[in-house]
A and B are shown apart, each in its own frame.
Chain A
Amino acid sequence: MTNNKLTVSHAPFWHDGDSLFKMNLNIMIATLPAVIFGIIQFGAPAVGVIALSLSSAMLWELILNVVSKQKISIGDLDAAVIGLVFGMMLPATSPWWLVITGTLVAVVIGKMIFGGIGANPFNPVLIGMAFLMLSWKIFFNFDAAYVNYEFNFTALAPLAALKSQGVSAVADLFPISDLIMGKQVGAIGSTFGLGLIVGGIYLILRGYIRWEIPVSFIVGIIVTALAFSMANPDTYAGPAIHLFSGYTLIGAFFLATENSSSPVNRLPMLIYGFCAAAMIILMRNIGAYADGTILAILLLNLVNPLIDKIRPKALGKGANNA
């Protein structure tokens, strides 16, 4: 009787088959409706920005892997997701150096120096974006970015217009149906509301994002915006324009939901989503920012570890049998 070399390892001997690769691939698939729409809308430059953003993010991580002699980690597609979402948040006219500087900051400072995947306290994409916005604010003026484009809709970024011209002026400029269908000026992957929602619902159903976060986020937007506009309808816009323009929906489904920087317990997720959204509306309505999504989510990333401390009692611990 020969004795074979058997595989010896530890229980459990089953796995549900999931992996980081599959999770990230699904996130990338979920961005497709919004990305493809953006490409159709903004043409070849959009393809360039997305492709450069995705590939440079992966390249930065690869370089860092090699330099610091770690295992090559880009196979899990985490850097690819960072690059892709980053690209979606840029105007199609962004110059090449802006893109690669942004992904450098996102991947290196946002993710790798904290220890790589799972260790980042902030969403890396937002770190990169915040850096670009602070350094080269001018490129994020979407009105200026698309001056050479011909659109068959109002060629003004809705939130900026809202800020500068007030509620009464924008009411007719941006019909809700236009906003939902992507007939608005904005970043490549942030304008097609319907597409983002479809992608987000896909991720929720597949269990790759935690539904509590986007749902409470959207509720937060609606409730807070409604509260403002009911208090003073002449100064503050209703929830619709807030929800369907700017980075709101990409924030709800692709930014706030980033695993490492968001809570995992139910109540904390609801608080986190709601507060991030409320913060966005506050910034838009009474702050200096036209959008505010990036800063608001970063802020909630910061307090996430505190919020996530609220969790159910573990079995056999605490009052019931102290």
Chain B
Amino acid sequence: MIKRSFFTLTKPRLLYDLVEPDPKEPESIPIPSDLTLVLDEPIDSTRQALIKEGDSVEKGEKLRLYNQSTDYTISPVTGTISAIDTYLDDFGNTSTCLVIKNSQSQTTDTNSMTYDLKDDIASADEYFRTLPGAPPLKILASNTVKINTIIITCADMDLLSTTHQYITLKFWDKIKEGAKILKKLTRIPKLCITVPENLNIPGESDLIQVFKTSMEYPSNLPAMILKNHLSMILPAGKTPEDMGVSFISAEAVVSLATAYKTKSAGFEKILTIIGKQGTKYRAKATIGTPLHKIFNAFSIHINDQDRIVIGGPMKGFATYTHNHPVQPDMDTVIIQDRDIIPEVSDTPCVNCGKCIRICPANVPVNILVRYLEADQYEEAADKYDLESCIECGLCAYVCTAKIPLYQYIKLGKYELFKLRALETANDE
């Protein structure tokens, strides 16, 4: 953890990690006997489900809950569905998890189902949403959102993470290939790529415009990329997609390239694991693998009260179980020893102003937090710029009173969203 330095006349600087030069091959984690897949749709017991426990599935088979479902997942193995269960996220939203019992031998690589692909984005969206790297095909294929710029992220967004950079170094040719495919499928003219300024990419491509991003956090967050490299100011409350910009991870581009070549889906996700001492391990694991299999492979021991963080230290989330499965968009897993977990407090804001100095979006956090604590979300958004927040987490990182500011803000946005949805519903 980066602590405050002794002299801090100016705000602290948090720097992104650079991938090690000439990185080693990742450790291949054997396919486990049980895999867990997450579907972004709650179970609805009143409806006739398409799948049930005991069904056999084939590697590459598309699985949906109901006939009308738009969300799907692809089975990474041949086997049987052994459980279908409800999964609760941070905000109390429900989704569904499927457990698949793997019946294929762990060593031989069964071929995945092949698909009948057409050269358009809808066809890609039909099968490839859950490829490693989670390509945003749903948005790209959508008729309502008009995307005119695609940004491939080779610069990892959060601190400590180096997965995207690793992929960039190792699979540069595949990225170029994938970019070509993306261009063909989407007909989007503008393709850009973010690369940390200190990273030398293996080559250039006349297809892609390179954005060299600063090493200082949060320069790789979408709103900052828009601001610094596209000279676009993201209006408060809007997403980059609203502005016609879609972000896709380097790994997703690589996966797409492979998928189009083989006409089948891939399932091996590359992850960076950061141990308690800060040691970095790189693993290649099948989507759905429980995390503890990976920890075992690196002899990482988890004790009571330790914390498993999925994603980076600033924007990630903590899981309550080491059975948490590898997911398509999971790039980094951090294990924090219980002794270094910083505590939060219930002290009110003391107006020290550190958050104001550090906030890249000029949000008046010190005032905002008072409104959020009082559940005044509309006021918070209208007068105190709740929606301008780009969710970098820096305010909470520096808060002298150790207020979980970032959580307050995310919750505030979520509640505001619900309120507004309710209002529109009432208006209609």
Contacts and interface: CB of A to CB of B under 8 A. Distances in A.
Interface of A: 1, 3-20, 23, 71, 76, 78, 115-119, 204-207, 210-211, 259-260, 262, 264-265, 311-317, 320-321
B388 A315 contact: yes
A320 B235 CA distance: 9
Contacts of B319: 6, 8
Nearest to B407: A10
B229 to A, nearest CB: 15
B397 interface: yes
Nearest to A269: B353
Given A6-B319, A311-B362, A13 B309 contact: yes
A7 B341 CA distance: 9
Contacts of B159: 14
B323 A316 contact: no
A1 B401 CA distance: 39
Interface of B: 1-4, 6-9, 12, 90, 159, 223, 227, 233-238, 292, 302-309, 311, 313-323, 334, 336, 338, 341-342, 344, 346-354, 356, 360-364, 366, 385, 387-388, 390, 393-394, 396-402, 404, 406-407, 410
Contact of B307 (A3, A9, A206, A312): A9
A64 to B, nearest CB: 16
Contact of A264 (B303, B311, B356): B356
Nearest to B317: A11
8 contacts: A4-B305, A5-B304, A14-B159, A15-B398, A16-B398, A115-B348, A264-B356, A312-B362
A10 B7 contact: no
A211 B9 contact: yes
B2 A16 contact: yes
Contacts of A313: 362
Given A10-B318, A11-B318, A17-B4, 20 more contacts: A7-B307, A7-B338, A7-B341, A10-B410, A11-B309, A12-B393, A12-B394, A13-B318, A18-B400, A20-B350, A119-B348, A259-B351, A259-B353, A264-B356, A265-B356, A314-B363, A315-B388, A316-B233, A316-B388, A317-B236
Most buried by B among A9, A16, A205: A16
Contact of A315 (B307, B361, B394, B404): B361
B314 A12 contact: yes
B153 to A, nearest CB: 19
A12 B355 CA distance: 14
A9 B398 CA distance: 17
A321 B234 CA distance: 9
Contact of A15 (B308, B390, B402): B402
A245 B134 CA distance: 67
A259 B352 contact: yes
A34 to B, nearest CB: 21
A204 B227 CA distance: 32
A264 B355 CA distance: 9
A23 B323 CA distance: 40
A133 to B, nearest CB: 26
Nearest to A207: B8
Nearest to A76: B347
A303 to B, nearest CB: 15
A266 B88 CA distance: 43
Contacts of A19: 400, 402
